[in-house]
Structure 1
Amino acid sequence: MSDPVQDVVEVMDRVRAAVSSVIEGKSDRIDTALVVLLAQGHLLLEDVPGVGKTMLARAVARSIDCTSRRIQFTPDLLPSDITGVSVFNQQTRQFEFKPGGIFANIVVGDEINRASPKTQSALLEAMAERQVSSDGVTHQLDAPFMVVATQNPIEMEGTYHLPEAQRDRFMARITMGYPSRGSELDMLDHHGAANPLDSLQPVTSGEQIRSLITTVGTVYAAPAVKDYIVDIIEATRTHEDLRLGASPRASLHLLRASRARAAMSGRDYVIPDDVQALAVPVLTHRLMPSSRAQLDGLGLEEIVSSIVEATPLPERG
């Protein structure tokens, strides 16, 4: 009889290898994306154009044999384009619901902050409750369901600020960064003649991912580890360099992500290392720095790292 946690390791190794064949030299970013997938979360990719945000999102979607859709966010995109719309059928004399782009297992939202705030808010119910309400009828979204959204930095031309309520729905945020010189040379050698996504084949199925998600939910988190998570979250609410701390949803997301990371590491229990490794990607996009921190040039990553370092580790039971 196979070990469920070992199944997580084996399947995720295959997915990681598939995505790595497209994204050169970004193994830590790929791992974070897979953690979010197994933890039933949503991922926000934020960086300047051309560094592989959309490529990573599409590579994750291609590596799994499930439904995926891409929504290109533009200023004229309507909420109904995302959620769907009821259309009157002349033959049956009834309204029929036509699903929008959100109805897929993995939804790639490209340049989400180029759409209006009204259109951005159309994602809120789907991301939080995995359902869409239209004309008084609720439509459930099939599992696995993951939104992978990309956005350019807010100071770039033609972008709208993503509201705090929307940002809080994302389990983690990562930045791609520029590749190393060696990785960029490899990219030119391997991907210069063709799109690497064209040759990427699925290495697992949506059904198998659902099974792995169930396994991740059984990973044990000791009470001391949960206390450790809450200590970190509470520290963000009282820290002098932050004017907006992390929400209770953030503590839940940090726990779920830590369970997924533990399973991907071959463990059926969470350790403080899991929490520490995920604190920055899970927390930074939910926080707002104080005016003094901004004047001092302190980054949110630096503030969160200092909070984690200052938080006492749980005692061994």
Structure 2
Amino acid sequence: MGGVYGEVFQKWTTEIRSSYVGSLTRRLRDADEATEVAHLKELYHQNNPEAVIRAFESQHSLHCNPSALPQYVKALVKVDRLDQTKLLKTLQRASEWRVSFISAVLELQLLSLNNRSEHKSAIISEENRRITGFHEGGHALVAMHTAGALPVHKATVVPRGSALGMVTQLPDKDQTSISCKQMLAYLDVSMGSRVDEELIFGESEVTSGLSSDISHATNLARKMVTRYGMSNKVGLVTHDYNDNGKSMSSETRLLIENEEKRLLERAYINAKTILSTHDKELRAIANAFPEHETLAGNQIKALLEKVRSKQQQHQKTIESQSSSLSNPIASSTAAAAASKAQGATPVGS
């Protein structure tokens, strides 16, 4: 949208937004903390994170409301503006208020998301960009096909810090805890990068870029086994691993590590099944990155739908040809009818 119309439209939307935030601020001026938070949640659920950010930053009473802080942070994550400075300030506020503001969604985000600035000027070879495209495509595709996985917000091959790309996942609604199903899905998604590099480039060409994915997955698997009681063999007990397991018996430590390995191997198998089955979808995502660099969740969905549509059309063509070959009489009759309709005499009549 450009030209005079674009400028007028931008000015109009800015005025509307400013007016709305102003009215919201007036509504919140004398509101209690619960009402303030309810308004922010309402904005977030209306898929308007920018309004949440503007309201929080313009209304000082919200700065003193510990329950409003998680809404602000979630909105920052939603629009990819949780930079290092904002994160540190938010952590400081939470510490001062003795509030555990990192909700389930943020715990998952901080496991997988390095909140560092983009480095679009970084010089990355075409081969590394290609590997990164498949790496992030693997994460995104496994998430799209895994029950319990958070929706994919975006996938990018723009470097951030030491990371060459990333996939951001965000929930559709507030969460106060993480289910076992969601944790297992997180493990599956983490293994997506390892599996796709194996499938596309070969096992001998797997890169060291997978280390953080494996590390995060291992840490979560250990928590599931030692803190959350999600292993039947270990049981409903907690084990302190702060000393690397030195304080527990060798039998218990071995049992815990075997259960961690079981969870990770399960995730690997699930990811491999998905990426092997949906190979064309994986390649479609990876091949889209050179042009776009960053793909929003809805763009990825549209891309996958296009691939599926082509596959369905191809399958119909094959079935039609197969049907014609298996029933030559019907094919001959159909050909005769078509020729007659055109006023021609079929060969052999």
- For the superposition of Structure 1 and Structure 2, which TM-score range results when normalised by the shorter chain? under 0.3
Structure with higher helix content: 2
Structure with higher strand content: 1
TM-score, reference length from structure 2: 0.26
TM-score, reference length from structure 1: 0.28
Q: Which has the higher contact order (CA 8 A, sep 6+)?
A: 1
